[in-house]
Amino acid sequence: MHVDLTGRTALVTGSTQGIGAAIATGLARAGATVAVNGRTPDGVAAAVKRLRAEVPDAEVVPVAADVASEEGAALAVELLPHVDVLVNNLGIFESRPALEITDEEWRRYFEVNVLAAVRLTRAYLPSMTARGWGRVQYIASDSAVVTPAEMIHYGMSKTALLAVNRGFAKEAAGTGVTVNAVIAGPTRTGGVEDFVYELVDRDLPWEEAQRVFMRRHRPQSLLQRLIEPEEIAHMVVYLSSPQASATTGGAVRVDGGYVDSILP
């Protein structure tokens, strides 16, 4: 299957590193003009440079804005008024004992992981439906389905994102715009790599370290290794494609079989 997104503009929130950067690269490879987003101009400029090194003919637009704030979201929309593919990837996570999560932290997780995506959907969905084509996606997590005891605020935010996804898919019904969530499983990003080496012998080479980590700490994974960010990106690129026109309102798993369910 050849995905061609030439002529489409994509915004990937939180795309200076990790899964977001891989998604931005995947969409650029498919021919889309890609807006790279992060909080600081320097961070965004460095990510744009890395992307251009990987995809030399990429059309890239820097969007330095803290989209978790109302003003930041407004700035992003001002810098990039036209979006055909909105990938709400931005998300924060940190473990915290359930009874120690403060009101402020509950609010922050809602603001960053849920409200930021709602705001941008509200901003871009009307023009997509008016044009009769668009793609909105939310990067959720296995934690949306299996609430992690060590970060229930994060789990709550990702579960909420699935409801937001389903709701906006209904809003876009019959318009040619599809709205989907991607349930990502444990993925090899910078923070996760440090986390692995906190739990297993630091002298182990990466391949072995992650297998030991998965066997001991993530035994539910059928993949038995961490997911590579590109593997999440492949699904996002597919869902962004014209070929994915009949998939909407769904929550599609790229979790390595981590969630023990017969439902997708």
Ligand X SMILES: NC(=O)c1ccc[n+]([C@@H]2O[C@H](COP(=O)([O-])OP(=O)(O)OC[C@H]3O[C@@H](n4cnc5c(N)ncnc54)[C@H](OP(=O)(O)O)[C@@H]3O)[C@@H](O)[C@H]2O)c1
Q: What are the catalytic residues?
A: 154
Under rule CB under 6 A, residue 62 binds ligand X: no
Name residues whose C-beta falls within 8 Å of residue 238's C-beta, 6 or more positions apart in sequence: 1, 3, 244
Confirm or reject binding of residue 252 to ligand X (CB under 6 A). no
Distance in Å, CB of 36 to ligand X, minimum: 9
H or E segment and range at residue 36: strand 33-38
Q: How many residues bind ligand X (CB under 6 A)?
A: 30
Work out how close the CB of 176 gets to ligand X at its nearest, in angstroms, rounded to a whole number: 26
With binding defined as CB under 6 A, does residue 18 bind ligand X?
yes
The reply on whether position 38 binds ligand X by CB under 6 A is: yes
136 φ, ψ (degrees, to nearest 5): -120, 135
- CA pair distance 32, 27, nearest whole angstrom: 6
Residue pair 113/161 in contact by the 8 Å Cβ criterion: yes
Query: Is residue 91 at the binding interface for ligand X, with CB under 6 A as the rule?
Result: yes
By the rule CB under 6 A, 17 interacts with ligand X: yes
Task: Decide: residue 2, CB within 10 A, 0-12 exposed, 13-18 middle, 19+ buried.
Answer: exposed
Nearer to ligand X, 163 or 173 (CB): 163
Q: At its nearest, how many Å lie between ligand X and the CB of residue 79?
A: 13
Q: How far apart are CA 207 and CA 164, in angstroms?
A: 37
Torsion of CA 85, 90, 55, 237, to 10 degrees: -40
Residues 156-215 that bind ligand X (CB under 6 A): 184, 186-187, 189-192
Residue closer to ligand X (CB basis): 132 or 190: 190
**Residue placing its CB nearer to ligand X in the complex, 39 or 211:** 39
**How near is the Cβ of 66 to ligand X at its closest, in Å?**
4
CB nearer to ligand X: give 3 or 90: 90
Residues from 136 through 155 that contact ligand X (CB under 6 A): 139, 141
Judged by CB under 6 A, does residue 20 bind ligand X?
Answer: yes
Residues paired with residue 10 on neighbouring β-strands, in sequence order = 34, 85
Q: Which stretch binds ligand X (CB under 6 A): 77-85, 90-98, 211-219, 246-254?
A: 90-98
Instruction: Provide the β-strand partners of residue 34.
Output: 10, 60
Residue number with CB closer to ligand X (45 or 133): 45
Distance of CA 53 to the CA centre of its chain: 22
Exposure of 87 by Cβ count < 10 A (0-12 exposed, 13-18 middle, 19+ buried)? buried
Token pair 């059928």 is at which residue? 222
Report the nearest approach of ligand X to the CB of residue 264 (Å). Answer: 16
Measured between its terminal Cα atoms, the distance across the chain in Å is 22
Closest distance of CB 141 from ligand X, Å? 4
Binding site for ligand X (CB under 6 A): 13-20, 37-40, 43, 66-68, 89-91, 93, 112, 139, 141, 184, 186-187, 189-192
